[in-house]
Amino acid sequence: MEYADDQTTEPMVEEPGLLVQPGLWIPWRELDVRASRSSGPGGQHVNTSSTRVEIAWNARTSPVLNGAQRARLITTLASRISAEGLLRVVASDTRSQRQNRALAEERLAELVRRGIAVKKARKRTKPTRSSVEKRLTSKRKQSGKKRERRNNTED
């Protein structure tokens, strides 16, 4: 058993996976992480190192989501999810594979967080009396201008 340091007797607890929101973790075993060569300019180093990181997660078969969350995620992110149900995120922003992996993980977590969020229903409000009065006054003024132009065609 590993320990955090020599002074403590508490074992180090490894994270169960990628934290999406409190109480919702995507297990590491469900994430397919691949590194490949980054494209584009940047000198010799960036073109020979596998710094681009792609993370794929199957949202359709994952047991971490309940039925309502899965349906919301699939409808919200329909353009991002493949026919097989894979949600892919790519990061090639930095020259470091570790930093790109952290960026890709955070992007995936943010996508899932936004995808399963319940949208707040819009509460319809009644316009105030003064705003209705202002709108009607403006309409009367505009129609009066148009009426004036129509009647003054005596050239």
pLDDT digits (tens, 9 = 90+) for 29-39: 888 989 888 77
The predicted-structure confidence for 68-110, as pLDDT tens digits, reads as follows: 989 998 999 889 899 998 999 999 888 888 999 999 999 999 9
CA dihedral 39, 42, 45, 48 (to 10 degrees): 20
Q: Using CA atoms, how far apart are residues 36 and 56, in angstroms rounded to an integer? A: 14
- Whether residue 3 has pLDDT greater than 70: no
- Provide the pLDDT confidence category of residue 49 given band limits of 50, 70 and 90: confident
Class at the top of the CATH hierarchy for domain 21-116: alpha beta
Q: Are 25 and 19 in contact (CB under 8 A)?
A: yes
Q: Which residues of 18-52 are buried (b: 16+ CB within 10 A; e: fewer)?
A: bebeeebbbeeebbeeeeeebeeeeeeebeeeebb
Listing DSSP states for the chain in one string gives: --BSSSS--SBPPPP-EEEEETTEEEEGGGEEEEEEPPPS-SHHHHHHS--EEEEEEETTT-TTS-HHHHHHHHHHTTTTB-TT-EEEEEE-SSS-HHHHHHHHHHHHHHHHHHHHPPPPPPPP-PPPHHHHHHHHHHHHHHHHHHHHHHH----
- pLDDT the model gives residue 16: 80
Which two structure tokens, joined as six digits, stand for 138? Answer: 């403006």
- Provide the pLDDT confidence category of residue 154 given band limits of 50, 70 and 90: low
